[in-house]
Amino acid sequence: MFKYLLLKSIHDLSVVDLVERSKYDMSFKYFLDMAPEDKVIDPSLLTKFRKLRLQGVSLLDMLIGKMVEIALEKGNIKIKTIIVELHIQRHVIIRNPRKIIYKRNQKVFEKQSIKSMNR
């Protein structure tokens, strides 16, 4: 179930889309440790698991914790403390609604003038 949730968060898919893609996408099946002919879970099971088992839990924190736990078990990580510092800065351009409408109108008029020239 955790692998399904990880795929869901990585690919930003709905539960139904995730399960549907898991039927045919071999990279998903490989990640889920499934043979190509194996059947995938029902979408309602994943939704029920997420709602009942993961109430009040940050999904990302839980997934990172689980990945670190597995890496420690397999010996991929030798230390017991991991410090993660994450700083994300978004570059957002806030546009005036008038400018947006003006630009869209320009595109429409350009298309119309091109069509009239081709006639």
d(CA 91, CA 89): 7
Residue with the larger pLDDT of the pair 59 and 3? 3
pLDDT band at 81 (very low <50, low <70, confident <90, very high): low
Q: What is the CA radius of gyration of the chain?
A: 23
Its pTM surpasses 0.75? no
d(CA 21, CA 28): 8
Q: In the predicted model, is pLDDT for residue 95 greater than 70?
A: no
Q: Once rounded to an integer, what is the mean pLDDT over residues 77-100?
A: 64
| CA angle, 77 then 81 then 85, to 5° | 105
Residue with the larger pLDDT of the pair 80 and 40? 40
What is the pLDDT at residue 27?
A: 92
Q: In the predicted model, is pLDDT for residue 47 greater than 60?
A: yes
pLDDT band at 23 (very low <50, low <70, confident <90, very high): very high
Domain ranges in the chain are 2-74
Taking the mean position of all CA atoms in its chain, how far away is CA 53?
Answer: 20
